[in-house]
Structure 1
Amino acid sequence: MRGADAGPGLGVAERPDHREQRHPIKAVPVRHPGRWVAGVAVAVLAAMLVNSLLTNPAFNWPEQAKYLFSPPVLDGVRNTIWLTVAAMAGGVGFGIVLALMRLSANPLLRGASWLYVWFFRGTPLFTQLLIWGNIGALFPTLGLGIPFGPQFVQGQTNALYSAAAAAALGLIFNEAAYMAEIVRGGIQSVDHGQQEAAAALGMSRAQTLRRIVLPQAMRVIVPPTGNEAISMLKNTSLVAAVPYLELTFTAQTIYATTYQIIPMLVMVCLWYLFLSSLMMVGQFYLERHYAKGHRR
């Protein structure tokens, strides 16, 4: 009956509420003046860039629009694309062969692969293309026959050898050296125990490579290969050393007559940016496909 004896002012309601006695914490946010200074600097530089693009007459945007989709430029774009595709297809195929040679137990194969990679990675691509463009001076004739013996078919190198072939071969042989190292690194990233398990199951080395090793190595191989493809797109501009009419060389032939150097070069940059952006999108989806089941 203690509840009945208690007065109206007593009971649970009289207990002090500790929550009401808490005072809110006055948090002072950390100030970052450097961020504001950097943001203002970037905004000013961006405004200056936009102003220059819109007001500088040297860009000559009407001249760029005139030649952007002209037949010579589109031919140069097509040549650039097919050179990139041919160089990457040949470079990847030959690079896989070189990587397997490098991982072979045969010392002659390992040594030959190492020498190839050493030479083509150690010399400039532009110099290699100059040599391919003037290969007729080194080998005046090309023939098919028995080594150190008679030749059954023979012809002049300059008659059998075109500028397109020189450009494609120069890019392929150079790219194969880089792809060999990329593929070798991807294969070595797979745990060797899986190869031993496959051998214990009776699988041959070729079956193990095709079914076990390469599918897992692709996760490591694809990202640098995508970067190599984008780099190859830009490296096609070096085949002017052959010479061959790709995108940059086409622009050079145009401004040699119009004297509009900067507008033509800016137009070429826009084409390269467009093609590179398409390749970057493809690389993203390809990487996501091979990254399934792995933590990114």
Structure 2
Amino acid sequence: MQVLDSATVSPKERLDMVVESMASAARATAFTPKGPDDQVRLTISTWQLGAVDLVDAACSAHTLRRGAHEAADDEPPSFILTYGLRGAGIHSHLGRDLPVGPSQLWSTDLTAPYVHQIEDTRTVTAKMAIATLGIPHDLVRKTLVHIGESPLAPLFVNHLTETRRVAHLIDGPASVALGTATLSLARALVASITDDERLGREALEDTLLLRVQAFVRRHLGDAALDAETIAVAHHVSVRHLYKVCARAELRLEQWIIRERLARAADELARTAPARGTITAVARRWGFTSSSHFTTRFRAAYEVSPREWQALHHR
């Protein structure tokens, strides 16, 4: 892990430090701050996860440029996937002016020029060689300006933010494995919006279990959530859904209950005891019967929900 903070250098050296750091992270060949040079701010953290570089950057308003000559010399040919957490702007790349901002995913082929204008910003970015995707470069390039429209974009964003959350806690084989998972999802993300139907079908099938898990976690509070609802949402049969879960040794209904109990336990641990709290929390996480919730909770945690709550608020 590497961390750079412009606040640790003198104002005279700050701009040079920011230009050098941004050039390394985004392969930019020009950095123009919006405002006085001595007010430029940059905090950047980087991790190497096998073949993937993960970058968390916060920077004051600026414009980044990468020229055509420098882009042609990109070696190895690489691209980046960026998720916005703060700041709005325009990303001009591959013949399209793409509005970017918080909660958006966009991509940049570093073998092509770009201009990136942004306000005070924070982003999380994954950088990788195009060859690692196993998809022809011309197909990759066609998809990049549409990457945020992929049905797998929410799944990749969730993975990227969770990877950032734990990146500082892991190293060695675990970090390499996390990078491999990121590459696999990036490949599926790109393949899902190519004009190659075979690649698209493979991408959706390869990520079905991950998409199901993300869908379930978003809908844990829905008491009507069941295998049929999940299957319909993912355009597969219930039989196929169970088959995919079985390959991963996942018992779908039991896993849903465990996820609901875990969310309820976390909320109870953070909530002061009050009349009606247990029932309200149970309903919020999809349990229509408070007695059923209590029975399941005790089986999982060996104490009742009320005892659990009291233990965390003594």
TM over 0.5: no
Structure with more relative contact order (C-alpha pairs < 8 Å, separation 6 or more): 1
Query: Looking at CA atoms only, which structure, 1 or 2, has the larger radius of gyration?
Result: 1
* Structure that is richer in helix per residue: 1
TM-score, with structure 1 as normaliser: 0.22
TM-score, with structure 2 as normaliser: 0.21
